[in-house]
Amino acid sequence: MDSRSSDLTDCPPLAGTAADAVKIVIVGGFGVGKTTMVRSVSEIRPLSTEETMTQAGAGIDDVGAVRGKTSTTVAFDFGRISLDDHMVLYLFGAPGQARFWFLWDSLFAGTLGAVVLVDTRRLDDSWYAIDRLEHHGMPFIVARNNFEPPVHSLDQVRDALSLSDEVPLIDCDARWRESSKSVLIALVNHLYALSAAQETTP
């Protein structure tokens, strides 16, 4: 636990002019490569922290998942990318399980968008995340992480996830900076297209 407190000594500080921070969340099941993706593009070593919430503050959704507990705790990793002198992007890697979604509003409201990272050997893990993002009105793309060569075509994955044609689905290798970077760019391009369309049709 000591290392946790000394982690920040390895971290370059933000520019003194940094004034506006934005968030992108990478959601996925255990072991799918969320932290690997954060690490490959972050300017700091990924840090970890947690949030706790008492049941009194709940009642948003999935209360059943925490019934009988007095509080719930969710741990998440994050990294940082300074976009320019003024803007900084924080990337969060978050687990997809039920107790995480019940903290979504208190933690990740105001997030630009999300990347659902999927492992085709465990597609079931992704169903729930996609359903929850739609419920929260959060725009997202889906990225298949290929730690091993893929067996299925992307069309097969799209069918298996019942993913609508409007949601971009791409391949990536979260270990590589260029690949992770292109996932983030694909997400922001998608957000840009959605936002531009919404502005022209008020």
Partner 1 sequence: MTRRPFDDETPDRLYAVTGGRSRAHETAFDLVTLIISERGPSPGMQSEHIRILHMCHRPMAVVEISAALGLPVSVVKILLCDLLDTGRVSARHPSVRSHADDQSSEGRSLSRVQAGVQRLPNVELLKKVLVGLQKL
Backbone angles phi, psi at 42, to 5 degrees: -75, 145
CA distance 43 to 125: 29
- The span of 118-126, 156-164, 167-175, 177-185 binding partner 1 (CB under 8 A) equals 177-185
- The span of 27-35, 78-86, 120-128, 166-174 binding partner 1 (CB under 8 A) equals 78-86
Member of 66, 98, 107, 170 binding partner 1 (CB under 8 A): 107
- The span of 27-35, 57-65, 144-152, 161-169 binding partner 1 (CB under 8 A) equals 57-65
Residue 80 · residue 90 · CB < 8 Å: yes
- Between the alpha carbon of residue 185 and those of residues 49, 53, 98, the distances in Å are 26, 33, 28
CA distance 17 to 47: 22
Residues 4-23 that bind partner 1 (CB under 8 A): 4-8, 11, 13-16, 18-23
CA distance 146 to 130: 19
The answer to whether 129 contacts partner 1 (rule: CB under 8 A) is no
Rg (Cα) of the chain, in Å, rounded?
A: 17
Q: Which positions lie near partner 1, rule CB under 8 A? A: 1-2, 4-8, 11, 13-16, 18-23, 41, 47-54, 57, 59-61, 73, 78, 80-84, 87-90, 92, 105-110, 112, 135-139, 177, 181, 184-185, 188-189, 191-192, 194-196, 198-199
